[in-house]
Amino acid sequence: MKSEVIDWLATQQGAMLETLREMVDTDGGSYDKAGVDKVGAQVARFMAQHGIPVETLPQQRHGDCIRAVLDDGSGVSGGNTRQNILLMGHRDTVFPKGEPTRRPFTIEGSRAYGPGVADMKAGLVMNMFVLAAFRKFGGAPGPLVALFTGDEEIGSPEGRPVIEAEAKAARVVFNSEPGRPNGGIVTGRKGGVFMAFDVEGKAAHSGGNFEAGISAIGELAAKVTAIHALTDLARGITLNVGLISGGQSVNTVAPWAQGQIDLRYVEPADREEVMAKIHAIIEKSFIPGTRSTLAIRGEFRPLTQSPDSARLFASYREAAKASGFDPSGEFSGGCADSGFTAAMGAPTLCAVGPVGGKAHTPEEYLEIDSLVPRAQAVARAILALGPA
């Protein structure tokens, strides 16, 4: 069975590319629920064609979560033992509606281009074909679950509870974010908290009644300086107020202002320490008479490498070598859904998807010849797990 799974995947590059073309040419920005759900329908259709059961978990604001399950009962163990082998990926992209029409899927030489081609529609296609291979030939040492979510690019506000629930039953997790340009995978990621703070001041005519005003923009400026001062590069902690807005007119003392904060950190304990300092800055009025509030809009947990995750990486590396490449395990300052599964105690590897680069830009690309070897590596890593 092992050789049949691997050999079949070796013949599927053309089919993978055609499946990928349809996905890339479908709108799928995080806030375009209809578009993301259309990609979900493509996933469901593929699974149906291969006889793999699919469950749709409806979401109100963002793309529904699609859950495909392949379980022949051969690897089931009793009790509360974690059994599931989880393959994970997100269908949403960062691009505006109409981007696939303006910039459709194209192939130039050894690379494919298009919105979301690497981040992470190629990873979705890889997961789909890995499930199809095991459905066709059997041999999985436990239930295989593929989860296709719809809102990762904005912090998984609806997908997170679904991912965390799935992680509780997961023996291991392979998150198919794009492989690094050098072929490596990701074994550690920063956590991130995405926030907005609103400042209330008092409007006044800036010429005729200046002294009666209280500037929300002045208060925001003081808070931005204080927040940025919390950055500690030696500890991997960064604070960035990346968006600001406010004011009524150039000749009015600003009655309101808003800043949006990006916090990144490495160690789980650092989150509470930095968040406490941010709250103190928001609560303090640098300019008397202003009032401020803070709201968390999205959050990712850090991906930390446990001893079990380290062993999983060692096994995956051997599987990759047998598939023709030798990946390094790298740390990334970017965030991903893999942090949620790791935080739930599931050994997790990230960026095991096909290799690509320049994500979130018009130059985003996929290395076509990585599609099959990366799929084979995941399949071999699954086979190496043995019964739970």
Q: Burial code of 192-223, b = ≥16 C-beta within 10 A, e = fewer?
A: bbbbbbbbebebbeeeeeeeebbbbbbbbbbb
Distances (CA, A) of 209 to 205, 213, 314, 372: 5, 7, 69, 70
Q: Is residue 322 part of a domain?
A: yes
Residues near 371 by beta carbon (within 8 Å), at least 6 away in sequence: 13, 16, 17, 122, 125, 126, 354
pTM of structure? 0.91
* Residue 214 within any structural domain of the chain: yes
Looking at the structure, tell me whether residues 66 and 144 fall in a common domain.
yes
In this prediction, residue 1 carries a pLDDT of 54
Token pair belonging to 21 = 């073309």
Assigned domain for 344 exists: yes
HEC assignment per residue over the chain = CHHHHHHHHHCCHHHHHHHHHHHHCCCCECCCHHHHHHHHHHHHHHHHHCCCCEEEECCCCCCCEEEEEECCCCCCCCCCCCCEEEEEEECCECCCCCHHHHCCCEEECCEEECCCHHHHHHHHHHHHHHHHHHHHHCCCCCCEEEEEECCHHHCCCCHHHHHHHHHHCEEEEEECCEECCCCCEEEEECEEEEEEEEEECECEECCCCHHHCECHHHHHHHHHHHHHCCCEHHHCEEEEEEEEEECCCCCEECCEEEEEEEEEECCHHHHHHHHHHHHHHHHCCCCCCCEEEEEEEEEECCECCCHHHHHHHHHHHHHHHHCCCCCCEEEECCCCCHHHHHHCCCCEEECCEEEEECCCCCCCEEEHHHHHHHHHHHHHHHHCCCCC
Distance CA 298, CA 238 (A): 16
**End position of a domain, from candidates 300, 319, 353:** 300
Does 121 share its domain with 243? no
50 and 19 in a common domain = yes
**CATH code: domain of residue 240:** 3.30.70.360
Residues 32 and 113 in one domain: yes
Q: What span, in angstroms and rounded, lies between the C-alpha atoms of 161 and 168?
A: 11
* pLDDT value, residue 80: 58
The amino acid occupying position 20 is L
Measured CA to CA, the distance from residue 294 to residue 282 in angstroms comes to 7
Range of the domain at 264: 191-300
Give the C-alpha separation, 48 to 55, whole Å: 11
- Do you find a cis peptide bond into 120, omega within 30 degrees of 0? yes
- What's the CA gap between 330 and 351, in Å, rounded? 10
The rounded distance, in Å, linking the Cα atoms of 149 and 151 is 6
Whether 294 is in a domain gets the answer: yes
Say what the pLDDT of residue 2 is: 75
Distance, in Å, from the CA atom of 199 to the CA atom of 290, rounded to the nearest integer, reads: 7
What's the confidence (pLDDT) of residue 386?
A: 86
Are both 181 and 319 inside the same structural domain?
yes
Task: Please state the domain count of the chain.
Answer: 2
By the 8 A CB rule, do 353 and 126 touch? yes
Same domain for 99 and 23? yes
Same domain, 177 and 196: no
- Would you say residue 110 lies in a domain? yes
| Phi–psi pair at 88, nearest 5 degrees | -135, 150
- Determine the pLDDT at residue 36: 98
User: Backbone phi, then psi, for 153, in 5-degree steps?
Assistant: -65, -15
Tell me, yes or no, whether 14 and 143 share the same domain. yes
The dihedral through the CA atoms of 222, 223, 226, 229 has a sign that is: negative
Domain of residue 35, CATH code: 3.40.630.10
Around 262, how many Cα atoms within 13 Å sit in the side-chain half-sphere?
12
Domain membership of residue 150 (yes or no) is yes
Do residue 366 and residue 350 come from a single domain?
yes
So what's the pLDDT on residue 77? Answer: 45
Domain final residue pick, 270, 300, 330: 300
Domain for residue 388, yes or no? no
Same domain, 59 and 161: yes
End residue of a domain, out of 279, 300, 321: 300
The pLDDT of residue 73: 61
Same structural domain, 283 and 369 = no
Can you give the pLDDT of all 388 residues of the chain as single tens digits? 579 999 999 999 999 999 999 999 999 999 999 999 999 999 999 999 999 999 999 999 999 999 999 987 654 444 557 899 999 999 999 999 999 999 999 999 999 999 999 999 999 999 999 999 999 999 999 999 999 999 999 999 999 999 999 999 999 999 999 999 999 999 999 999 999 999 999 999 999 999 999 999 999 999 999 999 999 999 999 999 999 999 999 999 999 999 999 999 999 999 999 999 999 999 999 999 999 999 999 999 999 999 999 999 999 999 999 999 999 999 999 999 999 999 999 999 999 999 999 999 999 999 999 999 999 999 999 999 988 7
Residues 290 and 341 occupy one common structural domain: no
CA nearest neighbour of 133 among 322, 18, 20, 4: 4
